[in-house]
Amino acid sequence: MQLDEILTEQRNHRSTHIDRESTLDMVATINREDQRVARAVQKQLPQIAAAIDAAFPKFDQGGRLIYVGAGTSGRLGVIDATELQPTYGLTANQTFGLIAGGQPALTETVKSAEDSPELAQADMAAVHVTTNDIVIASAASGQTPYTVAALQYAQEQGALGIGFSCIADSQLAQLADYPITPVVGPEVITGATLLKAGTAEKMVLNMLSTGIMIKSGKVYQNLMINVVPTNGKTFERAKKIIAEATQTSTLAAERALDRAGNNVPLAIVLIETKGTIAEAKELLATTNGHVSQAVKLSDDRH
For residues 136 and 161, give the distance between their C-alpha atoms in angstroms, rounded to a whole number: 6
In this predicted structure, the answer to whether residue 1 has a pLDDT above a threshold of 80 is no
Residues 201-219: tens digit of each pLDDT: 999 999 999 999 999 999 9
Domain regions of the chain by residue span: 3-215, 219-301
Per the rule left: phi > 0, alpha: psi between -120 and 50, beta: everything else, 30 is: alpha
Report the percent of the chain where pLDDT is more than 70. Answer: 98
The one catalytic residue in 83, 244, 279, 282 is: 83
pTM of the model: 0.91
In this predicted structure, the answer to whether residue 222 has a pLDDT above a threshold of 70 is yes
Instruction: Supply the pLDDT for residue 5.
Output: 61
CB of 243 within 8 A of CB of 81? no
Residues 9-45: tens digit of each pLDDT: 888 889 899 999 999 999 999 999 999 999 999 999 9
Instruction: Supply the pLDDT for residue 111.
Output: 81
The one catalytic residue in 33, 114, 201, 272 is: 114
In the chain, the amino acid numbered 58 is K
Instruction: Supply the pLDDT for residue 78.
Output: 97
Instruction: Supply the pLDDT for residue 234.
Output: 85
**Do the first three CATH levels of 3-215 and 219-301 match, i.e. the same topology?**
no
Beta carbons within 10 angstroms of residue 60's beta carbon = 16
In this predicted structure, the answer to whether residue 6 has a pLDDT above a threshold of 80 is no
Confidence band of 300 (pLDDT split at 50, 70, 90): confident
Class of domain 3-215: alpha beta
In this predicted structure, the answer to whether residue 138 has a pLDDT above a threshold of 70 is yes
Confidence band of 7 (pLDDT split at 50, 70, 90): confident
In this predicted structure, the answer to whether residue 240 has a pLDDT above a threshold of 60 is yes
Instruction: Supply the pLDDT for residue 110.
Output: 86
Instruction: Check if 279 is active-site.
Output: no
The domain 219-301 having CATH identifier 3.40.47.10: the answer here is no
Residues 93-115: tens digit of each pLDDT: 999 999 999 999 999 988 889 99
In this predicted structure, the answer to whether residue 56 has a pLDDT above a threshold of 80 is yes
Mean per-residue pLDDT over the chain, rounded: 93
Instruction: Supply the pLDDT for residue 100.
Output: 95
Instruction: Check if 83 is active-site.
Output: yes
Strand 178-180 versus strand 160-164 pairing type: parallel
